[in-house]
Chain A
Amino acid sequence: GAGVSQSPSNKVTEKGKDVELRCDPISGHTALYWYRQSLGQGLEFLIYFQGNSAPDKSGLPSDRFSAERTGGSVSTLTIQRTQQEDSAVYLCASSLAGGFYEQYFGPGTRLTVT
């Protein structure tokens, strides 16, 4: 079946502009995660959605970052007033449920802020 998809695959934006990154999780997966990966490094947790529960936003680095998940499926990560340090690959993952269920990752969106 279809895996996790993300769009766009690449995004170049000017400093100060807002960007929206999209994630389509695997159908039927109730948990959805956003991570950020700096060049060649490990992943940094950003936010977690589980069903209709309030999201865990503990990893968001500033109030310029926000995310929503509509209808328990598609998610959008929004970065307002982008800064150069926001440049990274943004990865989305979904799992059947939260906790220890295997997370399936999308290919990521490479964001470059000039």
Chain B
Amino acid sequence: DQQVKQNSPSLSVQEGRISILNCDYTNSMFDYFLWYKKYPAEGPTFLISISSIKDKNEDGRFTVFLNKSAKHLSLHIVPSQPGDSAVYFCAAPGGTSYGKLTFGQGTILTVHP
């Protein structure tokens, strides 16, 4: 089955600097990965995704990098802003079939003014 791990429960960054959030997965049977952002008392919202035919995908200040050999994803936010303070989840398809999206434990990002 698929396991998704975000080993850093929290990250603190100064405004204007780069935020780097990391994610590891175990099963590469499916090749589409996603990042979600969640504010308190709200549902998660989609942020950015990447297909395994790419090793990088950019959307404004957000860039996701994929290292398939290491089964590792990272999300870069440049420059970080206080409004980026939220919980970030990475997600990968389940290990044996479509239909299951497995999420990591989440990383709490705090951007200080």
Do A and B pair up? The answer is: no
